[in-house]
Amino acid sequence: DLAEPSDPLQLDRARVVRVDGPRQWLRFRRDEITAAELTAAVAARAELVDLAVEEPEIEEIVRRIYRSGVG
């Protein structure tokens, strides 16, 4: 969560997928940017008051694998 509501953050290696008041959901690829680097990039643009990092659900990962035909 940000200290104040804000327009979607503009970040090079992550994208905002949802905004609800001061809370913004970001999606990023771990092979492009680390969670620590992303946190630093967000903190450079806005005051952070809370942060959560979530891994994708295993079902979503399996679904992506089947859709892409890998395997």
pLDDT digits (tens, 9 = 90+) for 16-52: 999 999 999 999 999 999 999 999 999 999 999 999 9
The residues, ordered by sequence, that sit 6+ positions from 47 with a Cβ below 8 Å of its Cβ are 2, 3, 4
CB atoms within 10 A of CB 50: 9
pLDDT at residue 40, as a whole number: 97
Both tokens of 56, joined, read 């994708």
Contact of 18 with 24, CB cutoff 8 Å: yes
Concatenated DSSP letters of 9-62: P--SSEEEEEEETTEEEEEE-TTT--HHHHHHHHHHHS-BS-----PPPHHHHH
All structural domains of the chain with their residue ranges? 14-68
What is the model's pTM? Answer: 0.76
pLDDT at residue 26, as a whole number: 96
Tell me what the mean pLDDT of segment 62-67 comes to: 87
pLDDT at residue 64, as a whole number: 83
